[in-house]
Structure 1
Amino acid sequence: MLFSEDVFRRKSELGGSIEVICGSMFSGKTEELIRRIKRAQIARLRVEIFKPKTDIRYDDTDVVSHDKNSIHSIPVDHSSVLLLMVTDDTDVVGIDEAQFFDDELPNVCNVLANRGIRVIVAGLDMDFKGLPFGPMPAIMAIAESITKVNAVCVKCGNPALYSYRLVPNGARVLLGEKESYEPRCRKCFNLGPSLDNK
């Protein structure tokens, strides 16, 4: 996609960037993404928000936080679609549930940032086993800023950075909410099921 000379000059002056908001489930990642996007809208910047088509927990199209705050988004099948959908005059791109995207997402974020766009990415940094999740580690490596938000451990009240799966399912991707996951701190996460039997 070609830039008009004026748009390219403006974007070059502003410079692009990649921001990551990460943490466990119930830590407020989507809430923070929505907050940043709404502030950009107040500043009259042109924004586009995307999410994976597979995430339909709260709404088919909108990005919705656990607190039921929402903002309109475009569900997509593959990250490469973003390069076709983001127009020359877009200032800010928001991407929610980035861990569910394909491995091309870091490259897509780089291309957008190099176009002078502010890219804000929100997602789980670890899966239910406590392992790096999807394209998130690669995006974090190339990001200008990373905000790691914590939930509250439901077992002891300490800061929680893990998403503990409550249901017996070994699939890496299992969409769910409080019936399937709870936030836990490192100690309570490692105690696992034994903590529930006490």
Structure 2
Amino acid sequence: MLFSEHNLALRPAQYGSIEIVCGSMFSGKTEELIRRLKRAQYARLNVEIFKPSVDKRYDEKLVVSHDSNSIPSTPVDHSSAILLLSSSTQVVGIDEAQFFDDGLTEVCVKLANSGIRVIVAGLDMDFQGQPFGPIPNLMAVAEHVTKVHAVCMQCGAPANYSYRLTKDTETVLLGEKDAYEPRCRPCYFNLNK
């Protein structure tokens, strides 16, 4: 069925959705999340922003981009807390989603099904180039997926891999330019041997 004003009239007054912004380190994921959330605030929508409490790199409560843009947020230990704290919300933003538990997908679906616009940002792959946390499942159920790219620090091409500069082997290692650099596919795999 084609979209028309008639079809719009058949939709519920509050139409929920899930949007994913994903990519490598330094690709502008958080910057895009903040931009979308601020636009919702300008539209006078009730916005709530959440981040995992483990992420304290820039600030304990603010979501902060690498370009130092920020927006207030609520740190939570578990995705289920988002359901409890977003009762009168029209738009929910979630940053660093890869650090949340696997229950985040169900939380986002419940929010969207209740008429809330959900905007999620996170790494789609870990430093080993493998799907990371709940992001792949979220991408599967989302209405909109935006994959952003960084610039390869080796050759300048579009980059979608996060190369770890340290010898640490744990999957979760909070770090910045001291621990990671973005790389394109050839530079990631050729230099990662």
| TM-score range relative to shorter protein | over 0.9
1:17 and 1:137 mapped to 2: Cα distance? 17
Partner SS state of residue 26, structure 2:
coil
Alpha-carbon distance in 2 for matches of 1:167, 1:55:
19
Q: Could you tell me which residue of structure 1 aligns to residue 40 of structure 2?
A: 40
1:7 aligns to what? none
Q: Secondary structure at the match of 2:82?
A: helix
Say which SS state the counterpart of residue 178 (structure 1) adopts: coil
For residue 82 of structure 2, what is the amino acid of its counterpart? L
Match of 1:135 in 2: 134
User: 1:156: which partner in 2?
Assistant: 155
Equivalent residue number for residue 118 of structure 1:
117
Structure 2 counterpart of 1:147, one-letter code? T
1:50 maps to what in 2? Answer: 50
Q: TM-score, normalised by structure 2?
A: 0.93
Q: 1:169 to 1:44 in 2, by over 3 A?
A: same
Match of 1:17 in 2: 17
Aligned residue for 1:12, secondary structure, equals: coil
Deviation track 1:140-173 (CA, whole Å, cap 9, x = no partner) reads 0000000000000010000000000000011000
Q: Cα offset for 1:12? A: 3.1
Q: What letter is aligned with 1:165?
A: R
Segments of 5+ residues of structure 2 without an aligned counterpart are 1-10
| Counterpart Cα distance in 2 of 1:192 and 1:12 | 52
SS at match of 1:14: coil
Q: SS at 2:22's partner residue?
A: strand
1:96 is matched with which residue?
Answer: 95
Which residues in structure 2 correspond to 1:177-192 (within 5 Å)? 177-192=176-191
Q: CA deviation at 1:191?
A: 1.3
Residue 136 of structure 1 aligns with an amino acid whose one-letter code is I
Matches within 5 A, 1:67-82: 67-82=67-82
What are the superposed Cα offsets for residues 76-133 of structure 1, whole Å, 9 maximum, x if unpaired?
Answer: 000000111112x311000000000000000000000001000000000000000000
Percent identity over the alignment is: 67
Equivalent position SS for 1:13 = coil
Helix, strand or coil at the partner of 1:140: helix
Instruction: State the 4+ residue runs in structure 1 displaced beyond 6 angstroms.
Output: none
The residue number in structure 1 matching 2:107 is: 108
In the alignment, the residues of structure 2 paired with residue 184 and residue 19 of structure 1 have an alpha-carbon distance, to the nearest angstrom, of: 25
Deviation at 1:193, TM superposition (A): 4.8
RMSD, matched Cα: 1.1
Q: Give secondary structure in 1 for the equivalent of 2:33.
A: helix
Q: Which runs of 5+ in 1 are unaligned?
A: 1-10
- Partner residue of 1:167? 166
Distance 1:133 1:12 in 2: 34
- The one-letter amino acid paired with 2:178 is E
Structure 1 residue identity aligned to 2:20: V
**Structure 1 pair 193–142 and aligned structure 2 pair: CA distance change class (3 A):** closer
Count of aligned residue pairs for this structure pair: 183
